[in-house]
Structure 1
Amino acid sequence: ELVLVDDGSTDGSREKLQELAQRDRRVRVVLFRRNFGQSAAMAAGFEHARGRVVVTMDGDLQNDPADIPALLEKLDEGYDVVSGWRKNRQDKLFVRKVPSWLANRLICSVTGVKLHDTGCSLKAYRREIIDRIRLYGELHRFIPALARIEGARITELPVRHHPRRFGKSKYNITRTYKVLMDLLTLNIFLKYERNPLYFFGWLAILSLVAGLVAFGGMAVQVWNGSADPGVMNVLLTVTFVLLVSGVQFTLLGLVAKLIVASGDRRLSYLVETGRASRGRGALRAASAT
């Protein structure tokens, strides 16, 4: 099958895609009401794809569909994710290549996934891996890192890359900022996804300790009889705010923990052979065969 996602285009692509779907039952089309972004488009493609293996690529044909069989062969070697590597990238040096290289180094450093080209959209995934990945923001470029959380075996393969022939690149400084913010989010997500109370717990401890220090400073001034009314008012306010913040961070962590526990219906594990048993309220995890 071929799943084509139209992300709110206005250039007549929707009509062309619908014509293709009418002529060939293997073509499935997903039409967005407006532009929701690449992560949403990929999430929709994952949801509508029915195969045990899913291959993604952009519609500008800079990646070559002829490389897909090589990706599938690599999957057959036992990998769960095969990422394309645009080794001979056909893009402008300072506009795309250098920023992408810097971003790739940063992403690899934060996520621990060692790939030469995390931004290449030509990738092959096993169904049981992508079924456990949730995409939002600009997280599509971090799928290998999200897959790594699930224990996926990841590798890369050099693929061809052609000069851009259609349309214009949407990458700009605004998207770079969004990527950096999503990378920060991902870093926190990788560490505290299962128990956000650990993250908020550290904030609570820091606030409480700082509040106790401020209270100690206030007590010392009172003990020495050198308390200045203006300074005391400031210390009292700071102490109150910090102590209350510590309590609030603790409660926020508990609420976040409850949300994760009640809202995440995925199994907490993924088996390599056989089939994972169905837990209470959990989704079935397909076997990796």
Structure 2
Amino acid sequence: MYQSPTVVTADDAARSYAVDISVVIPVFNEAENLPDLVRRVDEALTPTGRSFELILVDDGSRDGSGRLLLKLAKDRPWLQPVRLVRNYGQSSALQAGFDRVRGRYVVTLDGDLQNDPLDIPALIDRLDTDPDVDMISGWRKQRQDKALSRRLPSVIANKLISSSTGVHLHDYGCALKAYRRDIIDRIRLYGELHRFIPSLARDAGARIDEVPVRHHARTRGVSKYGIDRTFRVILDLVLIIFFMRYRQRPLHAFGALGLWLATPGLGILGWLGLVKLAGEDIGGRPLLMAGVMLLLMGLQLIVAGLVGELLIRIYHEGRGRPQYHVKDDHAR
């Protein structure tokens, strides 16, 4: 039975924000950087007078980062450590933080101190004063990474993702981003989708802007990125394009491809049928096998699209999930 979605009023939304800013940072083997990271976030946000929380998600570190987080949190009530039982990857670590945010605005950055927490107040002020922006993505205009293994994959990925998704940013890889809370509530991360948060946010209705931010060279710890990341980005890009274009209508994706295969298959079999009627033997022709295979593959893809449509209906109607998001300007 379909249940209409719960309507959240502006007053309800305002009461749900326990703090002004939630900062979410996934960390993996960053014990050397954690004390400075916590101190710099404190120094950046305390002078603003805004209430804030710092959610540090330890993604299964093996260097004692988890124990250090618990120690740092003892005399800092605004620090919330989250320790995952094993290394799940950056997307899952970010989602673990997003599931626990209580702030009106959500900020993300990396734990390696290459992003500067001092940039956070300016991003929040922009969201506070500009109702036409829902997400601000940082742009490391003057990157301090010298290694080609980090810069080259980033350049390739930025151009590839921008051209494929239509969300044009200079720097998809910059972890320093600020969001309105309702945008975070609409997206879910898994696999390696953290690279495509701007695309997911745009799909959720976010209006995105990009601003230059500071970037520092890594001085401690080891980078977790390399040239192999480019190939993973290409595979994930196929998934994100499908999500953005065909998530609500899988039959259009699978069905269209199925028709492209089935149509020439039918044409081939029709022509061979005429040849057969003319008295020629077609049993040994490779073209017969090609026509049958094209037709069968096309039909299978069309059926897959129909099954996808049924699953979409079950997901939205059976669980009462709306297929849209309503803009609540009064909550801002």
Q: TM over 0.5, yes or no?
A: yes
Q: Which residue of 2 aligns with 1:239?
A: 291
State the shift of 1:177 in Å: 1.1
Which of 202, 208, 217 is the equivalent residue of 2:271?
Answer: 217
**Which residue of structure 2 lines up, in the alignment, with residue 269 of structure 1?**
324
Q: 1:151 aligns with which of 202, 205, 213?
A: 205
Q: CA offsets per residue over residues 31-62 of structure 1, 9 Å max, x none?
A: 11111111111111111111121100111010
* Equivalence map 1:107-256=2 (5 Å): 107-231=161-285, 234-256=286-308
Amino acid aligned to 1:47: D
| Cα deviation 1:160-186 (Å, max 9, x = unaligned) | 111102221222233221111001211
Shift of 1:202: 0.5
Q: Provide the rounded CA distance (Å) in 2 between the counterparts of 1:122 and 1:157.
A: 10
Structure 2 gap ranges (5+): 1-52
**Bigger mean CA offset, 188-197 vs 213-222:** 213-222
Cα distance, 1:70 vs structure 2: 0.6
Q: TM-score, normalised by structure 2?
A: 0.78
User: Partner of 1:3 in structure 2?
Assistant: 55
CA distance in 2, matches of 1:288, 1:247: 49
Task: Find the aligned partners of 1:92 and 1:260 in 2 and give their Cα distance.
Answer: 46
Residue 266 of structure 1, CA deviation? 4.3
2:160 pairs with one of 106, 112, 116: 106
Local SS of the residue matching 1:121: coil
Unaligned runs of 5+ in 1: 275-286
| TM-score for both structures, normalised by structure 1 | 0.89
| SS across alignment from 2:136 | strand
Once the two structures are superposed, residues 1-44 of structure 1 have per-residue CA deviations (whole angstroms, 9 ceiling, x without a partner) of 11011111000101001112232222111111111111111111
Q: Secondary structure at the match of 1:84?
A: strand
CA distance in structure 2 between the aligned counterparts of 1:95 and 1:172, rounded to whole angstroms: 5
Question: The residue matched to 1:230 in structure 2 has which SS?
Answer: coil
Residue-pair matches, total: 275
User: CA offsets, 1:62-107, max 9 Å, x none?
Assistant: 0011110011011121211011111111001522223312211111
- 1:29-108 matches, within 5 Å, as 29-76=81-128, 77-78=130-131, 79-92=133-146, 94-108=148-162
Counterpart contact for 2:258–2:300, Cα < 8 Å: yes
Once residues 153 and 204 of structure 2 are traced to their aligned partners in structure 1, the CA distance between those partners, rounded to angstroms, is 29
1:122/1:85 CA distance change after superposition, 3 Å: same
- Residue identity over aligned pairs, in percent, reads 52
Q: Secondary structure at the match of 2:262?
A: helix
If asked which structure has higher relative contact order (CA below 8 Å, sep 6+), I would say 2
Measured in 2, the distance between the counterparts of 1:115 and 1:229 equals: 56
